[in-house]
């Protein structure tokens, strides 16, 4: 085997393993998407191609109230999450990055904690928070939004900070030398430079909110606060129709579209290298 002699060559078996892994990771999902277009009610036997589960009269994403309401609620929560998490996160990232002195370590740890906390712990904590400390808010849409913002915040901060580090202080210093007041340095120099990262973090927050499950389920109040994830969970074990596959596909389409758009924006404005490092970000 020639690869033994040449370690910088291309061992075929590694490529094979990688190829098989990629197929294993993606093909099941592709099949699930395929069955969303099934003409019949089965999720395991192909009965022809059709859009009925997306736009049909009954049981489709467009017309079945349960599916449609879940999709609407999911999108609503995602929009709220981005609207709150991004400004909060950008401000926190800026503050953390430039924080000198005591307290920065603790705040940094606090910010990182949600990333390593298991979702069920967060779900339980938030549930008890809204039952016992803020019963005026109680469970429901507001609670779900707050919960989602709480863990999305960390992702926004990490992404924006990454970009801040690579920008460096030179631009603001140059602006200061030219006599710009601090507020202008921020709004007219720093923020525009950060724009790609802000867009990227908004997309990430949107995607995370779309796919979130545990916290959203724990903080839901009744059927009107169901999201796509909760729908998938409660119906997957029963006898669902391909309508479930359809709504999962729609959710996936939203996520991928948002991320692709953000990736392109980031790449266009931030240069290729940072885009790669963004792509390898662990999330």
Residues 153-172 that bind another protein (CB under 8 A): 153, 157-158, 161-162, 165-166, 169, 172
| Interface with another protein: number of residues (CB under 8 A) | 117
Indicate the DSSP class of residue 224.
G
Cβ atoms of residues 242 and 53 within 8 Å: yes
118-147 positions binding another protein, by CB under 8 A: 118-129, 131-133, 135, 138, 146-147
SS (H, E, C) 123-143: HHHHHHHHHHHCCCCCCCHHH
Cβ atoms of residues 233 and 278 within 8 Å: no
How far is CA 191 from its chain centroid? 22
Q: Strand pairing partners for 38?
A: 49
CA within 13 Å, CB half, 270: 28
Cβ atoms of residues 228 and 74 within 8 Å: yes
Q: Strand pairing partners for 49?
A: 38
Confirm or reject binding of residue 55 to another protein (CB under 8 A): no
Pick the binder of another protein from 150, 201, 209, 216 (CB under 8 A): 150
We find the least distance from the C-beta atom of residue 62 to another protein, in angstroms, to be: 19
213-252 positions binding another protein, by CB under 8 A: 213-214, 217-218, 221-224, 228-229, 232-233, 236-239, 244-245, 248, 251-252
We find the least distance from the C-beta atom of residue 48 to another protein, in angstroms, to be: 14
For another protein, the closer of residues 20 and 79 by Cβ is 20
We find the least distance from the C-beta atom of residue 28 to another protein, in angstroms, to be: 4
We find the least distance from the C-beta atom of residue 162 to another protein, in angstroms, to be: 4
We find the least distance from the C-beta atom of residue 59 to another protein, in angstroms, to be: 13
Cβ atoms of residues 159 and 278 within 8 Å: yes
Confirm or reject binding of residue 173 to another protein (CB under 8 A): yes
Confirm or reject binding of residue 78 to another protein (CB under 8 A): no
Cβ atoms of residues 96 and 160 within 8 Å: no
Confirm or reject binding of residue 18 to another protein (CB under 8 A): yes
23-52 positions binding another protein, by CB under 8 A: 24-26, 28-29, 31-32, 35, 41, 43-45
CA within 13 Å, CB half, 252: 13
């Amino acid at each position: 085997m020639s690869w033994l002699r040449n370690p910088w060559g291309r061992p075929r078996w590694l490529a094979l393993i990688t190829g098989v892994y990629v197929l294993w990771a993606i093909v099941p999902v592709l099949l699930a998407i395929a069955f969303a277009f099934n003409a019949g009610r089965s999720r395991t036997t192909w009965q022809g191609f059709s859009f009925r589960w997306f736009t049909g009269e009954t049981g489709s994403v467009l017309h079945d109230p349960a599916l449609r309401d879940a999709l609407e609620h999911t999108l609503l929560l995602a929009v709220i999450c981005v609207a709150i998490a991004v400004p909060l996160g950008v401000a926190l990232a800026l503050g953390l990055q430039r924080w000198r002195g005591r307290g920065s370590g603790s705040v940094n740890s606090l910010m990182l904690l949600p990333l390593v906390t298991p979702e069920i712990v967060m779900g339980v904590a938030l549930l008890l928070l809204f039952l016992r400390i803020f019963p005026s808010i109680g469970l429901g849409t507001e609670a779900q939004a707050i919960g989602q913002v709480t863990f999305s915040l960390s992702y926004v901060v990490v992404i924006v900070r990454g970009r801040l580090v690579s920008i460096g202080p030179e631009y603001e210093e140059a602006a200061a030398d030219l006599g710009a007041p601090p507020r202008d340095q921020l709004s007219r120099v720093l923020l525009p430079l950060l724009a790609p990262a802000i867009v990227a973090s908004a997309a990430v927050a949107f995607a995370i909110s779309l796919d979130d499950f545990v916290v959203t389920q724990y903080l839901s109040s009744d059927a009107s606060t169901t999201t796509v994830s909760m729908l998938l969970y409660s119906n997957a074990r029963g006898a669902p129709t391909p309508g479930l596959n359809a709504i999962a596909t729609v959710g996936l389409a939203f996520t991928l579209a948002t991320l692709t758009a953000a990736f392109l924006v980031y790449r266009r404005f931030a240069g290729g290298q940072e885009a790669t490092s963004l792509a390898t970000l662990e999330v």
